[in-house]
């Protein structure tokens, strides 16, 4: 039994009492049996058409009780909205708002993300329509200068990620890096996918993976994680990630693989950037050579 159903039954009973109507009177006006009305007031789920008819009979707003439940939104990877297909322009808007949960995103920033330098004459009306459609499964508030997506850790993976980073323990960091399914908003156009907030979030992902790996290497935890392997592959010139991967390989008895990885990274740094490895990569190499992992 859904919470909205229980709320409607209680609201119907209270409104009927306020109007001084009996169950028989309301049932007759709504063309429903007294028995069915009694079940509904006790929490049974009416059909949408019957719910609207009963609400109209006693003067309740049926939209409050027929609204689609909030969907879980995930942006740590391709944008996913649980059970709800979302068209492209609305996906752009939702992605931008979800990058800034519980913060106001200015109307000008929204217009730029949706249309860049060529917004249509009806852009204000279009944004309003997109927001209206997003409200079918999410909570979007209008603020005088823009819009805000209201979300908690149960409804948006980014909020959960932020909460877990605060814990900073091995289990919390492991869950935090495990929330990622790929680059943030990976399936959206560059205007959203490469937004400065998205780029900063990617750096926070790397920092979380480094912190998780360091903590695992200092304890009995497993030094490998899918996120470490994935990010080291995607960021072949990130010396911090490559250094941790080397240490993880050596710790699991793969010293030769760790040393080969160092040689590959050193060659690539020289060929693509014209630089030598920095201290963290050199130190990891030395620890592998000395078997101090």
Tokens of 120: 């249509």
Mean pLDDT across the chain, nearest whole number? Answer: 90
Which DSSP string corresponds to 272-285? II-----HHHHHHH
Tens of pLDDT along 13-26? 888 888 999 999 99
Helix, strand or coil, per DSSP, at residue 148: strand
Rounded to whole angstroms, how far apart are CA atoms 156 and 140?
Answer: 13
Structure letter (DSSP) for residue 229: H
Q: Which residue has the tokens 């860049």?
A: 116
16: number of Cβ within 10 Å: 20
Rounded to whole angstroms, how far apart are CA atoms 24 and 34?
Answer: 6
pTM for the model: 0.75
Q: How many helices (H) and strands (E) does the chain have?
A: 16, 5
User: How sure is the predictor about 235, in pLDDT bands with cuts at 50, 70 and 90?
Assistant: very high
Q: Which residue has the tokens 């990877």?
A: 77
Q: Residue 172 to residues 157, 204, 212, 240: CA-CA distances in angstroms?
A: 14, 15, 9, 21
Residue 3 pLDDT more than 50? no
Tens of pLDDT along 140-195? 998 888 999 999 999 999 999 999 999 889 999 999 999 999 999 999 999 999 99
Rounded to whole angstroms, how far apart are CA atoms 268 and 38?
Answer: 74
Rounded mean pLDDT of 263-290?
A: 95
Tokens of 80: 């996913």
Asked if 239 contacts 280 with a C-beta cutoff of 8 angstroms, the reply is yes
Rounded to whole angstroms, how far apart are CA atoms 34 and 123?
Answer: 50
Rounded to whole angstroms, how far apart are CA atoms 1 and 85?
Answer: 25
């Amino acid at each position: 039994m859904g919470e909205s159903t229980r709320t409607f039954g209680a609201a119907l009973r209270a409104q009927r009492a306020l109007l001084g109507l009996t169950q028989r009177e309301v049932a007759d006006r709504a063309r429903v049996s007294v028995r069915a009305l009694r079940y509904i007031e006790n929490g049974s789920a009416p059909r949408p058409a019957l719910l609207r008819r009963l609400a109209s009979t006693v003067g309740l707003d049926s939209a409050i009780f027929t609204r689609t439940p909030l969907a879980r939104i995930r942006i740590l990877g391709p944008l996913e909205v649980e059970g709800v297909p979302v068209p492209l322009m609305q996906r752009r808007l939702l992605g931008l708002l979800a990058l800034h949960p519980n913060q106001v995103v200015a109307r000008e920033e929204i217009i730029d993300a949706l249309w860049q330098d060529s917004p249509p004459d009806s852009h204000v009306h279009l944004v309003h329509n997109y927001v209206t459609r997003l409200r079918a499964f999410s909570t979007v508030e209008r603020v005088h200068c823009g819009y805000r997506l209201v979300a908690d850790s149960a409804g948006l993976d980014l909020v959960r990620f932020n909460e877990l980073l605060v814990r900073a323990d091995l289990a919390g960091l492991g869950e935090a890096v495990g929330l990622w399914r790929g680059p943030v908003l990976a399936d959206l156009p560059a205007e959203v996918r490469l937004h400065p907030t998205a780029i900063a979030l990617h750096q926070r992902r790397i920092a979380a993976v480094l912190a998780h790996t360091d903590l695992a290497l200092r304890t009995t935890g497993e030094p490998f994680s899918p996120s470490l392997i994935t990010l080291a592959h995607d960021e072949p010139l990130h010396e911090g990630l490559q250094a941790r991967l080397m240490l993880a390989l050596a710790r699991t008895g793969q010293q030769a693989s760790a040393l080969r990885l160092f040689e590959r990274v050193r060659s690539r740094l020289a060929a693509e950037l014209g630089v030598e490895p920095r201290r963290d990569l050199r130190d990891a190499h030395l620890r592998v050579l000395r078997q101090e992992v």
